[in-house]
Amino acid sequence: MNEFVLGLDIGTSSVKAVAFDFEGRVKASATIHYPLYSPHPDWAEQDPSDWRSGALESIRQVVTEIKPDKIKVIGLSGQSPSHVLLDQAGNPLGMAIIWRDQRARQEAEWLAQNISEDEAIRWTGLNDIADATLSPARLLWLKNHRAEDWQRTCFIAHPKDFIGLALTGEIVTDVQTAFTLFNPATGQYDPEYFARLDIPPTLMPAVKLPTEIIGGVSAQAASLTGIKAGTPVVVGTIDAFCDSLAGGAIRPGQAVDVAGTSEVISLGVTNSKSGQGVYLAGIGHEGRFLCGPTQTGGDTLVWLGKGFYPDIDPADLFEKLETEAGSVPPGSGGVIFLPYLNGERAPIWDSLARGCFFGLSFEDNRRHCTRAVFEGVAYSVRHVLETCEEIAGTQADQIVICGGGSRNRFWNQIKADILQRPVYPAVVRETACLGAAILACVGLGAYPNLNQASKHMLQLGIAIEPRHETAEQYQQGYWIYRGLYPALKPLFQKA
């Protein structure tokens, strides 16, 4: 069948458009990069016009390789929680604030003091909504500090929903992207909750299932992209959830590590328990998984390159990092890296936490610090996964690695060794696009449900087995890693 589905992902560093056949094989792709701005410490912003121009251009590039009428449906994926204010015409009002931004600490404190745990559960289904990176604090900050933009705001959108608007003229979101604002149990934005926030619920987009169709590509969007007018666009969901879906996380007992700018760890479960800094998620009416996002991941290597390897050509940086890290034995000579460079999300949720190297001696050098960074991120993956497993009462036998990090065999081996379980890299690197395509296929009716679609469209590479001789060394390192945050937490709060 010479027909295709287009997965479109609005990520942190770029927009990716990938055309898949209905078996999940890549037929064409395009990537458009854009910058991230940090005008003040703990701020992270992007220009929404970069998302829009990148999405339109990436689609344009894909349809130069595939006939437009052969693309039967488009699925959306996007970074979250990230927010852009829109006027009546759907135009952005200023810069967008993205998920890694930590500026709304005072608003988070207000939420903790003014909304009880019982109220949070009643209004959102979640017991903890008071974090600087989450939507409630973010929207309060926008209301308090960008009053002129706020007064002109008619809609508040996440990146993928902003692109859905650009493609179809309709603004909607999905249940998962609306988390901490929308209550999936009641199917509404709670008026009492929004009265407490003093935010009009009319600013919120309508909520649909991630497999529902928003509408067809408009004539204007068709002229800008080359895609056929009327091509259905499916709502989609958060990029990490698309990655997790593409990795099989909706199947009980399957663990997935989405290795990108940050790490997102998921574990398929059969119960409805959550807590301890990880949360219960689902996609549509199918499959539940426990999920925990970290605040850093692959971006630690970018940080490492700028500070420790300033003279290395960026094109050669990652090879250099792996070469130097690989020259040091597992355990980094006792050096432990705490990867909280911009606070931490799961499972500790502490925006004041900071990174550090522990255990340095005269015998250590740049190479030891470099390997410690790779290992520190892998320790954070283990921390989240073990938290999920403790709540679920089950242990995953293997881990699927998705996202850009799925091709980093060196890091995948470290993760396998620290987890002491086989790691399977996904064959398709752009798993957020694949997850969006899976949702789109179900929305189109090409598959009866997400479980069947993910089984048919997911392809795994050769397993990377753990080296059992490293188990004792890494168990000792992990024990120290887990002890560092509780020991340093009082100092983080004073720094």
Instruction: Give the mean pLDDT of 149-173.
Output: 98
Counting other chains too, the contacts that 477-480 makes at CB distance below 8 Å and 24 or more residues apart are: 477/331, 477/332, 477/336, 477/375, 477/379, 477/418, 478/379, 478/382, 478/418, 480/336, 480/358, 480/359
CA distance 471 to 475: 6
SS3 track for the chain:
CCCEEEEEEECCCEEEEEEECCCCCEEEEEEEECCCECCCCCCCEECHHHHHHHHHHHHHHHCCCCCHHHEEEEEEEECCCCEEEECCCCCECCCEECCCCCCCHHHHHHHHHHCCHHHHHHHHCCCCCCCCCCHHHHHHHHHHHCHHHHHHCCEEECHHHHHHHHHHCCCEEECCCCCCCCECCCCECCHHHHHHHCCCHHHCCEEECCCCEEEECCHHHHHHHCCCCCCEEEEEEEHHHHHHHHCCCCCCCCEEEEECCCEEEEEEECCCCCECCEEEEEECCEEEEEEEECCCCCHHHHHHHHHHCCCCCHHHHHHHHHHHHHCCCCCHHHCEEECCECEECCCCCECCCCCEEECCCCCCCHHHHHHHHHHHHHHHHHHHHHHHHHHHCCCCCCEEEECHHHHCHHHHHHHHHHHCCCEEEECCCCHHHHHHHHHHHHHHCCCCCHHHHHHHHCCECCCECCCHHHHHHHHHHHHHHHHHHHHHHHHHHHC
Side-chain-side CA neighbours of 191 within 13 Å: the count stands at 0
Instruction: Give the mean pLDDT of 345-360.
Output: 96
**pLDDT for the residue 284:** 76
Query: What residue ranges do the domains of the chain occupy?
Result: 4-240, 248-425+465-495
> For 317-335, how does the pLDDT look when each residue is reduced to its tens digit (9 = 90+)?
999 999 999 999 999 999 9
**pLDDT for the residue 110:** 98
Instruction: Give the mean pLDDT of 226-252.
Output: 95
**pLDDT for the residue 436:** 98
**pLDDT for the residue 271:** 85
pTM of the model: 0.91
* Block residue for tokens 């135009």: 91
CA distance 146 to 371: 42
User: pLDDT tier at 127 (50, 70, 90 boundaries)?
Assistant: confident
**pLDDT for the residue 93:** 98
Residue 214 · residue 261 · CB < 8 Å: no
Side-chain-side CA neighbours of 135 within 13 Å: the count stands at 22
- Taking the CB of residue 384, how many other CB atoms lie within 10 A of it? 27
Side-chain-side CA neighbours of 360 within 13 Å: the count stands at 13
Please give the backbone phi and psi of residue 300, each rounded to the nearest 5 degrees, phi first: -65, -30
Residue of 369, 341, 371 whose CA lies nearest to 357: 369
At position 211, the amino acid (one-letter code) is T
* Block residue for tokens 């979250």: 80
**pLDDT for the residue 199:** 98
CA distance 265 to 447: 26
> For 260-290, how does the pLDDT look when each residue is reduced to its tens digit (9 = 90+)?
989 999 999 998 888 899 988 888 778 799 9
Instruction: Give the mean pLDDT of 376-391.
Output: 98
- 458, exposed or middle or buried, with CB in 10 Å at 0-12, 13-18, 19+? buried
Q: What percentage of the chain carries pLDDT values higher than 70?
A: 100
The CATH classification number of 248-425+465-495 equals: 3.30.420.40
Four-CA torsion 85, 139, 298, 492, nearest 10 degrees: 150
* Block residue for tokens 């990537």: 31
User: pLDDT tier at 404 (50, 70, 90 boundaries)?
Assistant: confident
> For 283-317, how does the pLDDT look when each residue is reduced to its tens digit (9 = 90+)?
877 879 999 999 999 999 999 999 999 999 999 99
Instruction: Give the mean pLDDT of 234-252.
Output: 94
Residue of 138, 238, 223 whose CA lies nearest to 178: 238
**pLDDT for the residue 264:** 95
CA distance 400 to 419: 12
> For 193-207, how does the pLDDT look when each residue is reduced to its tens digit (9 = 90+)?
999 999 999 999 999
Instruction: Give the mean pLDDT of 34-49.
Output: 96
CATH of 4-240, one of 3.40.1350.10, 3.30.420.40, 1.10.357.10, 3.40.50.300: 3.30.420.40
- 393, exposed or middle or buried, with CB in 10 Å at 0-12, 13-18, 19+? exposed
Residue 74 · residue 63 · CB < 8 Å: no
Instruction: Give the mean pLDDT of 432-461.
Output: 96
CA distance 246 to 258: 10
User: What is the separation, in whole angstroms, between the first and last Cα of the chain?
Assistant: 61
**pLDDT for the residue 392:** 94
Four-CA torsion 327, 296, 98, 7, nearest 10 degrees: 70
**pLDDT for the residue 415:** 98
**Edge-to-edge order in the sheet of strand 286-293:** 279-283, 286-293, 263-269, 255-259, 399-402, 423-425
User: pLDDT tier at 252 (50, 70, 90 boundaries)?
Assistant: very high
**pLDDT for the residue 1:** 62
Q: Name the packing angle between helices 239-246 and 450-457 (round to 10°).
A: 70
Look up residue 484 and give its two tokens.
Answer: 């560092």
